[in-house]
A = this chain, B = another copy of it.
Amino acid sequence: MSIELSPALQAALKDGLDLIPAIAQDAKTGEVLMLAYMNRESLALTIESGRATYWSRSRGELWEKGLTSGHTQKVLSIALDCDGDALLLKVEQSGPACHTGEGSCFHNPIELNKP
């Protein structure tokens, strides 16, 4: 089955953008869980199914989040940013979002210089 974006959404995405960074945020807590990439097919699948589906750059394939781990993301809303080149997904995350077992992938603090 081939699945495509609506013409309106195609037009809203920045021209020539193949991979769109997509931020997954926990809809309940507001925690930012991860950043992954979507191509247009994975975005169309996500819109259609309500399950977050990304493009795995390392494996070069569609990646429905949680299909092997069980740590799925039910998508409650999607927003496109002002210049059409980034996505924000609000999700219901089952289990930890990160493959390390942490709740969020952003678990490595970088120390700021204190003035």
Contacts and interface: CB of A to CB of B under 8 A. Distances in A.
A9 interface: yes
A82 B109 contact: no
Given A21-B35, A32-B32, A82-B102, A109 B48 contact: no
**This chain: how many copies in the complex?**
2
A5 to B, nearest CB: 9
B12 A108 contact: yes
Contacts of A21: 21, 35, 86
A115 B79 contact: no
Nearest to A26: B30
17 contacts: A21-B21, A21-B35, A23-B23, A30-B31, A35-B81, A47-B112, A48-B113, A50-B112, A50-B113, A75-B112, A78-B110, A78-B112, A79-B106, A80-B109, A81-B108, A82-B105, A87-B106
Closest 10 CB pairs of A and B: A30-B30, A79-B106, A88-B106, A35-B86, A81-B105, A78-B110, A80-B108, A82-B105, A21-B21, A81-B106
